[in-house]
């Protein structure tokens, strides 16, 4: 079946502009994650959605970052007033169950969106 | 908090050489452990996983054993191929949380 898809694959923007990144998880997966991969910081967790529960936003680096998940499926990560340090590859992942007792749950990653802030 | 430490790279080997990439972790309880691989120009793919102590994960000739006593999950392959050239990430998922905590990644280059 289809994997996790993300769009756009590449995004170049000017400092100060807002950007929106989209993620389509695997159908039927209840959990959705956003991570960031950058040269200086490696792979960092950003935010996690599980069903209808309040999202875990503890990894968001600043209040310029926000995310939503509509209808328990598609998610959008929004970065307002982008800065050059926001340049990174933004990865989305989904899993069948999420966290808690089902900690063996495997996360499947999308191809990522490469964001470049000029 | 949870953390993962991988051996520093890059690692360069000749084809058919033996590969070990070290990974150690810090976590409370019994986390699940994973190796992900990122081939050039591609996204992260799960390579193998182990969910409890002494479990061995294996895939595509790669193996890793969950060692609770040494808090390690070293990746091994007996004979690497050029097509194994990629970045390898060790990761853990804690028992109470949902996020993956990744190591720094190890770049492997295999020369013919």
Residue B34 pLDDT > 60:
yes
Task: Give the tens place of pLDDT for each residue, A20-76.
Answer: 999 999 998 989 999 999 987 789 999 999 888 889 999 999 999 999 998 879 999
Determine contact, residues B98/A33, Cβ cutoff 8 Å: yes
State the DSSP code for A53. Answer: S
C-alpha to C-alpha distances, B95 to A33, A87, A102, B99, nearest whole angstrom: 17, 32, 8, 10
Closest Cα in chain B, distance from residue A18 (Å): 25
Nearest CA in chain A to B87: A42
Region A66-91: mean pLDDT is 94
Q: To probe the interface with B, which of A43, A112, A113 has the most B CB atoms within 10 Å?
A: A43
Residue A98 pLDDT > 80:
no
Residue A94 pLDDT > 70:
yes
Which of the four pLDDT bands, split at 50, 70 and 90, describes residue A81? very high
Which chain A residues touch B93 with a CB distance below 8 Å?
99, 103, 105, 107
Model pLDDT, residue A1: 55
Q: What mean pLDDT is reported for chain B?
A: 93
Distance separating alpha carbons of residues A67 and A74, to the nearest angstrom: 11
Region A78-100: mean pLDDT is 90
């Amino acid at each position: 079946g289809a994997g996790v898809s993300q769009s756009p694959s590449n995004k170049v923007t000017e400092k100060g502009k807002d950007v929106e990144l989209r993620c389509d998880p695997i159908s039927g997966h209840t959990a959705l994650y956003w991570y960031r991969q950058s040269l200086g910081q490696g792979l960092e967790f950003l935010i996690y959605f599980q069903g209808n529960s309040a999202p875990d936003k503890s990894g968001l680096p600043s209040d310029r970052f926000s995310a939503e998940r509509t209808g328990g499926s598609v998610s959008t990560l929004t970065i307002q007033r982008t800065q050059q340090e926001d340049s990174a590859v933004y990865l989305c992942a989904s899993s069948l169950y999420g966290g808690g007792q089902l900690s063996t749950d495997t996360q499947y990653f999308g191809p990522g969106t490469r964001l470049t802030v000029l | 908090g949870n953390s993962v430490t991988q051996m520093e790279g890059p690692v360069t080997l000749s084809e058919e050489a033996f590969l070990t990439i070290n990974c150690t972790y810090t976590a409370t309880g019994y986390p699940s452990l994973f190796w992900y691989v990122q081939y050039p120009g591609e996204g992260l793919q799960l390579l193998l996983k182990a969910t409890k102590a002494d479990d061995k994960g294996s895939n595509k000739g790669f193996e890793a054993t969950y060692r609770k006593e040494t808090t390690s999950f070293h990746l091994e392959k007996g004979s690497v191929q050029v097509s194994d050239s990629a970045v390898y990430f060790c990761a853990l998922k804690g028992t109470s949380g949902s996020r993956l905590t990744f190591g720094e990644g190890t770049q492997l280059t295999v020369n013919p």
